[in-house]
Amino acid sequence: MAERLALYGGTPVRTTPLPYGHQSISETDIAAVAAALRSEWITTGPRVTEFERGVAARVGARHAVAVSSGTAALHVAAFAAGLGPGDEAIVPPLTFAATANAVRYLGATPVFADVQADTLTLDPERVAEKLTSRTRAIIGVDFAGLPCDWEALRALARPAGLALIDDAAHALGATSNGRALGSLVELTTFSFHPVKHATTGEGGMVTTDDPALAERARRFRNHGITVDASERFSRGEWHYEMVDLGFNYRLTDVQCALGLSQITRLDAMLARRRAIATRYRAHLRGLPGLALQALPAGREHAWHIFPILLDLDRLAGDRRAIFAALRAEGIGVNVHYIPVYWHPYYQRLGYAKGLCPVAEALYERLITLPLFPAMTDGDVDDVLAAVGKVIDHFGR
């Protein structure tokens, strides 16, 4: 007989809830931040450049521009790519709203193309159907940390002269055919939010190999201001010019001190994420009622989150019931994501439900299991025990 669920008065697997994600802060991180606070520089100083160089080297890009969030990074990248009013950018619906919002910030139009049912990433065939004379960019999201099919997306973008932007907020450390995400396409963006692979509290980065794009990104981060040394010589030391309507998206030296310290542990933290995901997959693969994200050959996952897909035909409960049952067992599950255009803001703009049927159907089946480097093997056992218990209860 199935064990009684905590939801119905049974004993929960855990009494202390396990979150779905959590930062990993070491004493070295704390010392690095304290040292920055004791230094001359607490806003833009040498640690910003050092952090940019560190991330650029890690992802194999020539240039990196540190900004105040992953959302700012997307805004900066979309600006650098030249998006503006009248332009369209293709985005997936299965992402955080920021991916599409960045397009809106520039007065351009996000065009949602559906995702693949197995990889959960942008479907190049659906992208091809959405291309118009107004399309200027394609923004892919490496969902959960799995790289998109960038080769297929490039094959669409190149002949049409479109910019490719990689929203790699989930995918620092992922590789595609052996190449790190970060220099694969024109512009890549990362997030350093606490649940991500490395954190600066809030923070983000734009990486590119193109010096002109890097220059546009740097300017946009700092109010659109340029400082030309020769102009300063001829016009006065105070001289600067604002050439674009930029923002204050600067990341501070204090935050970069944390980021620099974090990236020294990035490989270890990634290895832990991958080990946890491997255990999850080994235990959950083949469990009736569940499906897992497909892992195409040549794409190395960075495991920001671990999504599971409920096979609702084989379960006597819907996602809401199963989610509630897992939470009652002390497992801090989450859901990524509500299709972006379902949000009231996008509904007001006229995006109709039903636009991306694959993503909409996936949304009803998705649950995110906890995954972060500080999880112990015991925590992983608890998650697996709770999933087994709940699926056993709801299994037909």
Ligand X SMILES: Cc1ncc(COP(=O)(O)O)c(C=O)c1O
Q: Is 196 a catalytic residue?
A: yes
Quick one: 190 or 323, whose CB is closer to ligand X? 190
CB of 380 to ligand X, least distance (A): 23
- 99: contact with ligand X by CB under 6 A: yes
Nearest residue to ligand X, by Cβ distance, number only: 70
Q: Binding residue for ligand X (CB under 6 A) from 52, 71, 216, 261? A: 71
Find the part of the chain contacting ligand X (CB under 6 A) among 18-26, 163-171, 285-293, 317-325: 163-171
Quick one: 96 or 351, whose CB is closer to ligand X? 96
Strands, E assignment, the chain: 63-67, 88-91, 109-112, 135-141, 163-167, 175-176, 179-180, 187-191, 204-208, 225-226, 241-242, 290-292, 299-300, 306-310, 366-369
CA–CA distance, 251 with 49 (Å, rounded to integer)? 10
Q: Binding residue for ligand X (CB under 6 A) from 12, 70, 124, 373? A: 70
CB of 196 to ligand X, least distance (A): 7
How far CA 231 is from CA of 215, 216, 218, 237, 242, in Å, comes to: 17, 19, 19, 9, 13
- 389: contact with ligand X by CB under 6 A: no
- 95: contact with ligand X by CB under 6 A: yes
Locate tokens 């607490």: which residue? 42
CA–CA distance, 218 with 76 (Å, rounded to integer)? 8
CA–CA distance, 76 with 84 (Å, rounded to integer)? 12
Q: What number of chain residues touch ligand X (CB under 6 A)?
A: 15
Contact 147, 99 (CB under 8 A): no
Q: Binding residue for ligand X (CB under 6 A) from 109, 116, 135, 191? A: 191
- 169: contact with ligand X by CB under 6 A: yes
Cα angle: 119, vertex 338, 389; to 5 degrees: 70
Residues that bind ligand X (CB under 6 A): 69-71, 74, 95-96, 98-99, 141, 167, 169-170, 191, 193, 204
Q: Which residues are catalytic?
A: 196
